[in-house]
Structure 1
Amino acid sequence: MNVKQGLGVLLGLAAATVAGVALAMDMTDRMRGAPITETTPPPPLMNSDNSDIRRVRNYAMQPPVIPHKIDNYQLDKNANRCMFCHARTQTQASGAPMISITHYQDRQGNHLAELSPRRYFCTQCHVPQVDLKPLVENRFVDVNELLRAEQQRQRGGASAPQR
């Protein structure tokens, strides 16, 4: 057996080993409850929250969530339905909060008269909400809660929040 044949045998054994390990592993997608090799039907769409109640943000600079339905809103290169209410010229009549002044700035920080093209597609950052059970456990702790726990710890009180 020459070097090339020996290398080929070695590579073949390595590939077989990897394939055997993969077969022995659990290949179930925990969120779907099915093997990753199977296609499953998507869950039904749920109705968005339409309460119009502003939600508290969990961290600094978090984009606010959309507290109303946006079904059938036109949001493409030709029209942005969100600006019918949220543009600075429309907020007095609509009662909707004005979009952040940062949405009227270009990449260099220059102020623009119109919405910046890079901020045009609102649902890149802002999303409607649905009241559902989380798919995975969430142990998120708000920064204010962390700061309160740290202050209590420094005063000799309770320990930091559990994660």
Structure 2
Amino acid sequence: MDRTKILFVCSQNKWRSLTAEKICEKISGYSARSAGTEKGARIRVTEGLLGWADLIFVMEKKHSDRLRSKFPDSIKGKKVICLQIPDNYRYMEPELVEILQAKLGLYMEMPDNEINFMECCVCQECGCFGAGFWKRFGRGYGYGANSNRPHSTAAGMEIDLY
């Protein structure tokens, strides 16, 4: 089975697009990458990345404008979708994850058991990303704001998709 290749684009590739990549890289049927449009981006958009992608999600209209201006031939015939997510969030911020899940769910098959991964990953004690989250994404254990020890309890946080 071929996987749909998705490219997420924001300005710096540090918070929004990287969060989207991390959410989608574990979902079967998709292969995800991310990049930024600015000079200081963690990974910059290239013709190669655009050529690789089957589907391109940008966070703001200015990102699609930059792609169309700088890489017109590379995005010719590609579907470029603007998610309209402002640069108001940090990497893996719960509100950003919730917004991304809701908006991406309109365009991608995202099974409930995979899309709601935060339900088992947020600490009841302080709201940090706990052991379930870090285990799933390969980073060990998370430490909470109110404690210097690893947390492993789940908050059962509900994520409403609208």
TM-score over 0.5 for the pair: no
- Report the structure number with the largest CA radius of gyration: 1
Q: Structure 1-normalised TM-score?
A: 0.22
Larger strand fraction of residues: 2
Q: Structure 2-normalised TM-score?
A: 0.22
